Amino acid sequence: MPSSTSSFERVVPALPWRRILIAVALLTAAATLGWEIRCRTWGYTATLNDTADLWAQQRRKVRPDSLVIIGDSRPLFDLDLDALEQGLGRRPVQLALAGSCAYPVLADLAADEDFHGTVIVGLVPLMFLAPGGPLLATSEKALKRYHHGTWAERSGHYIGRFLEERLAFLKQNDLTLESLLKRLPIPNRPRALIPPPFPPGFSTVDPERRSRMTDKCARPGALQTRIKEGWLPLFTPPPPPTFVPKDVFLAGVGSAIETRFRDTAAAVKKIDARGGQVVFVRFPVTGRLKQLEDAATPRAGPWTRLLAETGAPGIYFEDYPELASFDCPEWSHLSAPDSVAFTQRLVPHLQKALAKGTEAAH
């Protein structure tokens, strides 16, 4: 008599399973190799993704007396960690984030009662004063991963790092299905402005999050031109939404910016009170992008006000011929060799700014 479970039994078909397994493995390997070759022909190379996990890994290296770099992509590209360590005597922790507002990271350091180190803040006023949106979200995502990341996420990060250093197609911001679908040539239309696609081959990232412009981008050519053309719409503020009265919208933005000024001053004073130091740096910007930034946020505006209200020292690249002489190949960042030379020239100014801050504290 058959058992009561006999109806659930399944007969395994007599197939050449070993050959099927080998065929599937070979097809998978061939598809992977083909996709890798295709991605490299597009200009991608094997380099780390600058993920929230990689940022959190560096954030965990911050000690009470650390030298920390925060800001947008300019200090990420323009500061050489070796030159800073040689000049200032401490290995910096690179916490700048491309496409971000630096304020949440500054506030996080200020809230850390143990931190009394030095913070170099790269300042692009348009980005630092952003009242909301993607710039803030980028910083907040990184901070969330630092404060609330799980061990599973950490282990996945280390496995990912191993593969990213060897495979070009593992670009999570460029080559996922979602990212590829966003590249479909959809034209701009009301209430749906499509940002320009960011080209491959722009930079490389190492485990300390040092970002370096590739030689291909530093040389005049199609890649450099594409990046230049992408900055202008990205740095042009969008028009006010049509579903909110203009005066109400502008009042809300103004109120948020005033709050940012007050909160920044409070954060700097917290760090100062614990014996730490904050110094703001305006990094080189050239070409039409400089004209756009100068028109939107002239130096006499946010830069001057931030220094006055925070009491922190500031270094503006245009004040010093040895810093102002650098040219940004794509208007916004320095080439890899120039980042070393720029940092070496910046170090004496940082030393003076930090020395004045120490004297003022005493």
Chain Cα centroid distance, residue 14:
55
Q: For residues 359 and 149, which has the higher predicted lDDT (pLDDT)?
A: 149
Range in 35-39, 76-80, 182-186, 276-280 with the lowest mean pLDDT: 182-186
Statement: residue 170 has pLDDT above 80: no
Q: Tell me if 109 sits within 8 A of 84, measured CB to CB.
A: no
Whether residue 39 is predicted with pLDDT greater than 60 in this model: the reply is yes
Q: Is the pLDDT of residue 308 over 80?
A: yes
Q: CA–CA separation, 72 vs 283, rounded Å?
A: 10
> Rounded distance, CA 76 to CA 71, Å?
8
Strand, coil or helix: what is 70?
strand
pLDDT at 38: 81
Strands 118-122 vs 211-213: parallel, antiparallel or unpaired: unpaired
Can you give the pTM of this predicted structure? 0.82
In three-state secondary structure terms, 171 is coil
Cα–Cα distance, 114 to 6 (Å, whole number):
66
**Which spans in 68-220 are helix H?**
73-78, 81-88, 103-111, 125-128, 134-148, 151-164, 177-182, 215-218
Task: Work out the percent of the chain whose per-residue pLDDT is above 70.
Answer: 88
Mean pLDDT of 94-102: 94
pLDDT at 36: 78
Number of H helices, E strands in the chain: 16, 7
Q: What is the pLDDT of residue 180?
A: 65
Which domains occur in the chain, in start order?
Answer: 61-151+229-361 (3.40.50.1110)
- Kindly tell me if the per-residue pLDDT of 188 is higher than 90: no
Instruction: Round to whole Å and give the CA distance between 144 and 128.
Output: 19
Query: What's residue 183's pLDDT?
Result: 63
What pLDDT digit, counting tens, does each position of 58-70 carry?
Answer: 999 999 999 999 9
pLDDT band at 241 (very low <50, low <70, confident <90, very high): confident
Q: Which residue has the higher pLDDT, 190 or 107?
A: 107
For tokens 């502008």, what's the residue?
A: 250
- Provide mean pLDDT across the span 238-264: 84
